[in-house]
A and B are shown apart, each in its own frame.
Chain A
Amino acid sequence: MQLLLDNIHTYKSFGAKAILIEWKAIIEEAILKDILEFKDKINSQKSESYLDYSIGYNSLTIIFKDIILDFNKEVEKLKLIYTLNSTIKPVQNFLWDIPVCYDLEFGIDLEEMSQSLNLEILEIIKIHTESIYTVFFIGFLPGFLYLGGLNSKLFFDRKPNPRLNVEVGSVGIGGEQTGVYPVNSAGGWNILGRTPIIFFDLEVSNPCFAKAGDQIKFSVITKKEFLELEILVSKKSYQLFKTVIND
């Protein structure tokens, strides 16, 4: 049995129709694991009272179908669900390989980062592609993955003035986080490169291939490969490379 400090959580009401469950305010994979297990147990209840859920770094918010009449009673129910011995098969998680072109044409902030961080551009790319990142949750925009695991050598403040438009597929760093813009969007992250992979696609049954608990690895591709992949992706004939994560 693992203990347990990471598993301590509290319940708060969040408006009339939601309960916010919070863990210690740190970014920590053990907390993510506890949140995901709890979420799976709640889902396995197939209760009509629960309409949706939303995950944060250290939180799970349960959105109810109707107004919560008795908060304490609902909390007791959730506490009971938490203690259930999980007999449900854990959801399979994957490590996804995301091809990124770090060409200066796409990596429009690489030169500035290189100067400020006193790192060669090639060194930045090496560090960025070495790490395996964990998907903590999806938020901000449809298909925007919140990733943990950025090497602290690459921590870099967001731009003081966000760009009005960051191109879809742009791979960026904002503070202590790295991520990919799933659509054209305003944004203040520093852009290192671009991927031809689509992170949110309504034409497929599961619009976002990744989910909380999955992992991401970036790998370098040339401009030529980027253009070729872009065509394959648009024809829906590109299969992302994935491996099952062994727990």
Chain B
Amino acid sequence: MIKVLKSGFYTTIQDKGRVGFASLGVPVSGVMDSYASDMANSVLNNSLEAAVVEIYSGSCEFQFLCATFICVSGGDFSLKLNKQAIGLNKKISVSKNDILSFGKANYGARCYLAVAGGIQSEVKLNSRSFYKGITQDIFLQRGMEIAISEVTKSQLVSNASIKVNALHFSSQTIKCYKGPEFEQLHAAQQKELFEKFFSISKDINRMGYRLNETIPNTLTSILTSAVLPGTVQLTPSGKLIILMRDCPVTGGYPRVLQLPEEAINCIAQKATSSQFQFVLEDL
């Protein structure tokens, strides 16, 4: 078990999400940055589907009620084990009663705590990912105890560490494809989409990231149709919304761009007012 001593803000348990339930209106959910969670799970030899703790705001603290191995990947939140600074992307041995704490973010917007064998919280519709109305908990709260698996001897091997691509956090270019309604934009609107620098607004959550800038919008709504994580919608006000992992399965705003997995991961590490440009790739 891991005990939550301080919960931080919107700390959740996530895996790769719920697949196969779109026809019931169930969002995919899952880790916002799969690049980072994959890294944490890989270092521990876990399945990439193993559930992790997604830490968004820092200022959280956990106590281990048993010995295990952990790895933290993603943003740098001044990680400490028993008040001693420790590194990211490393397999770290923790003992019973050790305290792991996350402080302020030095870079990145979220990080992942993986434990050997993965977090063992309740499975609903084939996934442990927290989502309101589906899992009992929607975020971690102080005093909660998180189930983890027992560590087997075979996992007690030496430390592994992986190099991170620094561009994952700093890149100002976001790869995208044309969305289904892209061709309905005028040439001038299309040009503006790729010439302008966009910045992330304060209005961001696991469902979507609203951008500050506007582009002239002459498109009308579409008949409600599928949207996916990474779909960029053009709202009537001319502002763009990048849909993220908890987005609904359908929407009615024109879908002008579609981000690939790696671009969604990059956006997930950007904070309010970060700037970037969309760069069009051919499919």
Contact = CB atoms under 8 A, between A and B. Distances in A.
Interface string B212-234: 00000000001111101011000
Interface in A110-143: 137-143
B24 interface: yes
Contact of B228 (A18, A58, A207): A18
B250 A137 contact: yes
Interface stretch (B15-23, B52-60, B78-86): B15-23
B234 to A, nearest CB: 16
B141 to A, nearest CB: 19
A183 B133 contact: yes
Instruction: Count chain A CB atoms within 10 A of each CB in B25, B124, B230 and give the residue with the most.
Output: B25
B248 A139 contact: yes
Nearest to A183: B133
Interface in A18-63: 18, 20, 22, 25-27, 51-59, 61, 63
A12 to B, nearest CB: 5
B238 interface: no
Interface in B244-277: 248-250, 255, 258-261
B283 A139 contact: no
Contacts of A18: 226, 228
Most buried by B among A57, A58, A139, A141: A139
A13 interface: yes
B9 to A, nearest CB: 20
Which interface residue of A18, A59, A138, A142 has the most chain B CB atoms within 10 A?
A142
Contact of A208 (B25, B180, B223, B226): B25
Given A183-B132, A212-B23, A25 B223 contact: yes
B180 A53 contact: no
A140 B250 contact: yes
Interface residues of B, number: 34
B249 A202 contact: no
A42 to B, nearest CB: 12
A52 B124 CA distance: 17
Given A25-B223, A139-B249, A200-B133, A16 B260 contact: yes
Contacts of B255: 14
Contacts of B164: none
A223 interface: no
Contacts, number: 115
A27 B19 contact: no
Interface residues of A, number: 41
B23 A142 contact: no
A219 B132 CA distance: 30
B104 to A, nearest CB: 31
A207 B231 CA distance: 27
Contact of A56 (B27, B231, B250): B250
B185 interface: no
A53 B23 contact: yes
Contacts of B226: 14, 18, 20, 54-56, 59, 61
B26 interface: yes
A160 interface: no
A208 B24 contact: yes
A141 B25 contact: yes
A66 to B, nearest CB: 12
B147 interface: no
Nearest to B27: A142
A72 B26 CA distance: 29
Interface of B: 19-27, 124-125, 132-134, 177, 179-180, 222-226, 228, 230-231, 248-250, 255, 258-261, 283
Q: Lowest 9 A-B CB distances belong to which pairs?
A: A139-B250, A56-B225, A61-B226, A15-B258, A54-B226, A138-B25, A54-B22, A57-B223, A59-B225
15 contacts: A14-B258, A16-B177, A27-B223, A52-B23, A56-B223, A58-B223, A138-B25, A139-B248, A139-B250, A140-B248, A141-B133, A142-B25, A146-B250, A202-B124, A211-B23
Given A16-B283, A52-B19, 11 more contacts: A14-B226, A52-B22, A54-B23, A57-B223, A137-B23, A138-B25, A139-B248, A143-B24, A182-B25, A183-B133, A202-B134
Interface of A: 12-16, 18, 20, 22, 25-27, 51-59, 61, 63, 68, 71, 137-144, 146, 182-183, 200, 202, 207-208, 211-212
